[in-house]
Structures are given as C-alpha cells and as structure tokens.
Amino acid sequence: MRTVRFRDPAGNVRRGEWSGQPSDEITLRTNYGGRVALGNETFLPEEIDVLPPCDPSKIVCVGLNYEDHAAEQNTSVPDRPSFFLKPPSAVAGHGDTITLPAGKERIDYEAELAVIIGDTCKNVRAKNAMDVIAGYTCLNDISNRDDQSIEQNWVRGKAFDGSAPIGPVISRPENVASDASIRLWVNGDRKQDSTIEELIVPVAELIEELTSFMTLQSGDIISTGTPAGVGPLRDGDEVEIEIDGIGTLSHSVRIPSASL
C-alpha cells in the first residue's frame, strides 16, 4: 500500500491510498491512470495538492553511508554511524519550488531513502525494527557546502528551510525490495544511480543504534545516506528522485541573487 497526504479541492487535508497499474510506479507528475482513493471517494492527481507525507518532530540524517560517496568526498567511512539533524522547518513537499540560501558557491543535491517511523519507540533491537516502521519515502538532503565545510555541527550547512524535500507517498516496506534502485535526475540528466542494497549500515541497525540514545516519535524521519554522484544545484533546476517501489519525488529550486 502507498498512502498520500493531500489537500482536496475543498481545501481539506486528507490521507488516501494511491492506486494505479503495476507499471505506473507512481510518479504523480502526470496522470498515468492512477487514482487517490479515500473511502468511497476518488481523486485524480491533477485535482489535488500533494503534501509532505508526514509531520516529523525531527529528521535524523546519516552521513557517509555509501562507500562510493565517501570516496568522492575524499574521506573514510566512520567507525560508527554518523548522524546529524534537520528540523521540521526543513521539510518541503512534492512539486514545491524551494528557495535556497543566496550567495553560496555550492549547494548540492543528495538522493536518499527516508524511513518514516510509525510508533514512538526507544531501545528497539534490530530484529524488531520493522515493527516501528510506517514505510519509506524519497528525500533530497540538500546541502550547503560553503557552510558545511567550516562548521562542526552543520546547522547552516544542512538545517536551512526547505533542505529536506520528501515524498510523494509513504510506501509500505514490503513494496520496496532490499535491492531497490535509487536514482536522481537534474533537468532530465541522470546524476545518481545506485541501490539501497549498498547501504553500509542497513535500516534495522540504524534504528537500533538511534533508539539506544534517542526516542523516535511517530512521523519522525531517518534519512539513510546518499550514494555517489552528488553535485551542485543551479537556479531553476528541476530535480527528480526515484526509488523503486515508492515513486518519484519532483521539485524545483530557486536561488535568489545575493543581497548587496
């Protein structure tokens, strides 16, 4: 099952189930014969506004969780998972235009598998981790490299408004194969192409580690790291992130002129 959070034509925020032909792989960019169903009601994609699929109290991101990305960053893989946080204000949704910080030399895209927590949890063993997962979605960990390179805690580099576009749906874990492809395009050019099988620390182990010292709330997000191929964004770029079994998150970016 894939669920979508949306605003209906009357302006009400609701949740429904996205259904379509098996080959559709929900892009939500155009109508491929799919429908959003809610009880006895159905909506076409063009009739609704797709919203971020959850309201997290926090986004916990994992750094350097693909060996090829660590290599392209000229750094080594850490001995234990490296975590950093993004606040709720970082969340943006499918179809949004995201305004990035002005006056920066480099702001990068990073395609990632995001885990949505279903139940408030603490001290979860890896073998039980699937019990607390609501599902998976796509996330772009947009990164301001200018400030990230000179900060220790990466607040300016990672936690700015709109730095975590997510969506378009929450897909149940059984829909997403262990070797599901993860890809990113900028203006139609493929930039990242890998599989979630390449994660150094898998999802279950990340949940065990995180919940050993932190309570995760329902709706919280764990963003699991990005593969190689990260690169800079330019004003007006159109970004698409596709993960097999989830669908395609699409958004654009705007970079305002630096203030004089």
Paired tokens of 2: 């894939």
Question: Strand 238-243 to strand 35-38: parallel, antiparallel, or no bridges (unpaired)?
Answer: unpaired
* pLDDT band at residue 20 under the 50/70/90 scheme: low
Question: Would you say residue 60 has pLDDT above 80?
Answer: yes
State the Cα–Cα distance between residues 160 and 198, nearest whole angstrom.
28
Can you give the pLDDT at residue 18?
87
| pLDDT higher than threshold 80 for residue 108 | yes
Q: What is the pLDDT of residue 8?
A: 94
Cβ atoms of 70 and 78 within 8 Å: the answer is: no
For the residues of the chain, what is the DSSP string, one character each?
A: -EEEEEE-TTS-EEEEEEE--TT-----SS-SS-EEEETTEEE-GGGSEE--S---S-EEEEES-SHHHHHHTT-PPPSS-EEEEE-GGGEE-TTPEEEPPTT-S-EEE-EEEEEEE-S-BSS--GGGGGGGEEEEEEEE--EEHHHHTT-SS-HHHH-STT-EEEEEEEE-GGGS-TT-EEEEEETTEEEEEEEGGG-SS-HHHHHHHHHTT-PBPTT-EEE----S--EE--TT-EEEEEETTTEEEEEEEE-PPPP-
| Tokens 């599989």 belong to residue | 195
143-200 confidence digits (pLDDT tens): 999 999 999 889 999 999 999 999 999 999 999 999 999 999 999 999 999 999 999 9
Residue 260 pLDDT exceeds 50: no
List the domain boundaries for the chain. Answer: 1-50, 52-254
For residue 259, name the pLDDT band (cuts at 50, 70, 90).
low
Does 64 have pLDDT greater than 70? Answer: yes
- What is the C-alpha to C-alpha distance for residues 50 and 15, in angstroms, rounded to an integer? 10
Average pLDDT taken over every residue of the chain: 92
Topology of the domain covering 52-254? Fumarylacetoacetate hydrolase; domain 2 (3.90.850)
Mean pLDDT of 15-32: 56
Binning pLDDT at 50, 70 and 90, where does residue 21 land?
Answer: very low
CB 66 within 8 A of CB 199: yes
Which is more confident, 203 or 46? 203
pLDDT at 33: 45
Q: Which residue has the higher pLDDT, 91 or 75?
A: 91
More confident residue, 241 or 35: 241
pLDDT over threshold 90, residue 45: no
Confidence (pLDDT) at 73 = 87
Distance CA 113, CA 115 (A): 7
| pLDDT confidence tier of residue 24, bands split at 50, 70 and 90 | very low
| C-alpha distances in Å from residue 38, one per residue of 17, 35, 129 | 7, 10, 29
- pLDDT category at 214 given cuts 50, 70, 90 is very high
Percent of the chain with pLDDT over 90: 85
Least confidently predicted of 75-84, 156-165, 212-221: 75-84
The percent of residues in the chain predicted with pLDDT above 70, rounded, is 94
Instruction: Name the pLDDT band for 26 (thresholds 50, 70, 90).
Output: very low
How far apart (Å, rounded) are the C-alpha atoms in residues 53 and 9? Answer: 18
